[in-house]
Chains A and B, each alone.
Chain A
Amino acid sequence: MNNKSYFKEILLDLNKVEKELIRVLKVDDPVLSQTCISLLQAGGKRMRPGFTLLAGKFFDYSFEKLLPIAVALEIIHMATLVHDDVVDASLTRRGKPTLVASWGNEISVATGDYLLAKALEQIIKIDDKNLSAIIAKVCVDMCQGEIYQIKYSYDVKQNFKQYLYRINRKTALLFSLCCKLGAMACNADKRGIWIMKTYGHCLGIAFQIVDDILDITADPKILGKPVGSDVRQGIITLPMIFALQDPNIAERLSKLLALDRKTEEQVQEAVDLIKQSDGIAKSNDIVQKYIKKGIKNLSELPDIPAKDALIELAEFVGKRTY
């Protein structure tokens, strides 16, 4: 994603968020300093702070109020990625070695915890107990989503509803939170908060489904990690759920997905089966539905450049290849 185009409306402020992130993550301990620097340099898209700022644009925009929120949410996101990489034993992310690949489990877990403390520091700065409580609750719900995912891995009987429950917690909640808090911090009314929260939620769902599609269909060089990771780890995603409805391949695919130790040939066979089914197409349909739903209510908001940005972002999410 080219941030300069989608976030041009808030580019100056987003750059200030980046500077603040660098400042906040300057730490004395030499190892934590290195791990934090490598995370900053890992090339995140900074979508979450971007959404927070854009959401605020429709209301009584105040960068001072939004800054600690944007920074806190991005640090929370970074912390979850660090811990996720340990959970998934992922060695690459965005084409670069993960912390766990470079430093091992213990340092990665400690870095994630340190980042969580840093995020809390920012949240305290917001000095709003209600906003802070919302963030804390979302963090707990996100953990529940991840635990749910692990608990039900290799369970090929999962249905669409269960999948949605999981990805809502795992991904959409944070997107929704970014948009909601951006609105709340800028004195949006209830309807405005709801519109932004819903946009974030729909975008988050769409984003995760696309992520799950790309795990099957993407070019690994562009994706920055091997394809088929979800197959390997037993994470049952929407393309798989739809593919398992195809009577021609269900039995074989079911057996493959349920294996907790797969050879690379088996992973590839499962990926090929999913590709040959209509699992990808059906998943894409769901993505488009959520994007449409997310954009729909934006019509109630003022016609300002931020609206165009949110619409373009939503459309990008639906078409992205990385």
Chain B
Amino acid sequence: MAVLDSIQFELSTVEEQIKKEFGFKALGIIDITQLKMNNLDQYLLPAISLAVAKTAGSINDIVISLSIVLQYVYMAQYIHGMVKDTEMTDAQRQYPILVGDYVFGQSFVKVCEEDLFPYAKHFVVAIKKVNEGIVRRWRLKNQKMSVKDYKSIIEKERASLTALAARLGAEKSNIKPSHIDKFETLGYNIGMAWAASLEPKFNYLVQEYFSKIRTNINDLREHYTVKSLQELYDFIRQESKIEINDYLATYRQTLL
């Protein structure tokens, strides 16, 4: 991911570790799950942790490990999300459940094996929130969904994970404790923008959250070199393919 230049090495490390640690090939099922993850699905969560940690100065092994676990949790939910209430073949229904469970299991194995046990409770909270969001969305599926309802759903489904990614990246770096909440808020807004970009009906929310992300980055600019965070912003903007107002391009120039 050329646009995430400042964390490219660490992001590749995360990617390689994931491929190595659980190859679907080992289970002989890589074709069956037919994962269609785009760049945001594949990279955004770990990129958030890494970019936040980079902002503090450097990325340590714990942040890399936490990024991997976060991505496992996201992948597990993504794979489980392939199971729908609609008509499905046995294979379409069966493998995503079992592979998703396998990935969840691997995420916890990693938490136990790599000295990440103190963070386990954060992952538990995130998994609960994601599924509460999924259930809430299901409950409202045949109703006219208000913006408030929608925001509460994506907050749980997506922003809970991205906020956690940012928080963990901040906590495990040399970021001032009083600033950790700011990074968490940045992560939250990234998650909201990401989720909103996926649903045409609520695309206008993307503008709102991109604006908040810029504000977050600008606030942090007073205390840190925000190159990595800016790259993150560019990455999401590029990959979400949502037209952001032109004045933002000028605004970006002023940040640099």
Contact = CB atoms under 8 A, between A and B. Distances in A.
Interface in B115-155: 117, 120-121, 123-124, 127-128, 130-132, 134-136, 138-139
A114 B105 contact: no
Contacts of B101: 80, 83, 112, 116, 139, 143, 146
Interface stretch (B106-114, B175-183, B245-253): B106-114
Contact of B83 (A106, A129, A140, A144): A106
Contact of A87 (B77, B98, B135): B98
B131 A114 contact: yes
A129 B84 CA distance: 36
Contacts of B88: 105
Interface in A7-37: 29-32
Given A29-B136, A86-B93, A150-B95, A106 B84 contact: yes
A112 B134 CA distance: 12
Nearest to A148: B27
A83 B131 CA distance: 14
A121 interface: yes
A44 to B, nearest CB: 19
B105 to A, nearest CB: 4
B94 interface: yes
A89 B128 contact: no
A113 interface: yes
A177 to B, nearest CB: 13
B102 interface: yes
Contact of B108 (A30, A104, A139, A150): A139
Contact of A121 (B85, B112, B124): B124
Contacts, number: 126
B134 A147 contact: no
A107 interface: yes
A298 interface: no
B106 A140 contact: yes
Interface string B56-93: 00000000000000000000110010011100101001
Nearest to B113: A133
A117 B131 CA distance: 10
Contacts of B83: 86, 105-106, 109
A110 interface: yes
A161 interface: no
A120 interface: yes
Interface in A93-110: 104-107, 109-110
A83 B97 contact: yes
A110 B124 contact: no
Given A117-B127, A140-B102, A107 B108 contact: no
B34 to A, nearest CB: 15
A147 B138 contact: no
A151 interface: yes
A42 interface: no
A151 B29 contact: yes
A144 B95 CA distance: 11
Chain A at the B interface: SS class: helix
Contacts of B98: 83, 87, 143, 146-147, 150
B200 interface: no
Contact of A147 (B29, B90, B93): B29
A150 B83 CA distance: 16
Contacts of B47: none
B204 interface: no
Contact of A110 (B28, B94, B121, B131): B131
Contact of A31 (B28, B76, B135): B135
B109 A29 contact: no
A191 interface: no
Interface in A106-149: 106-107, 109-114, 116-118, 120-121, 123-124, 129, 132-133, 136-137, 139-140, 142-144, 146-147
A138 B200 CA distance: 42
B99 interface: yes
Given A124-B124, A144-B102, A147-B27, A107 B135 contact: yes
A23 B123 CA distance: 21
Contact of A113 (B104, B136, B139): B104
A312 B114 CA distance: 41
A140 B105 contact: yes
Q: Which of B83, B121, B123 has the most CB of A within 10 A?
A: B83
Given A83-B101, A87-B94, A117-B131, A132 B112 contact: yes
A98 to B, nearest CB: 14
Contact of B138 (A106, A117, A123): A106
A132 to B, nearest CB: 5
Contacts of A105: 83-85, 88, 93
Contact of A140 (B97, B109, B128): B109
Contact of A117 (B97, B105, B124): B124
Contacts of B113: 133
Interface of A: 29-32, 80, 83, 86-87, 89, 104-107, 109-114, 116-118, 120-121, 123-124, 129, 132-133, 136-137, 139-140, 142-144, 146-147, 150-151
The 6 closest A-B pairs by CB, nearest first: A133-B112, A140-B105, A143-B102, A117-B127, A136-B108, A139-B105
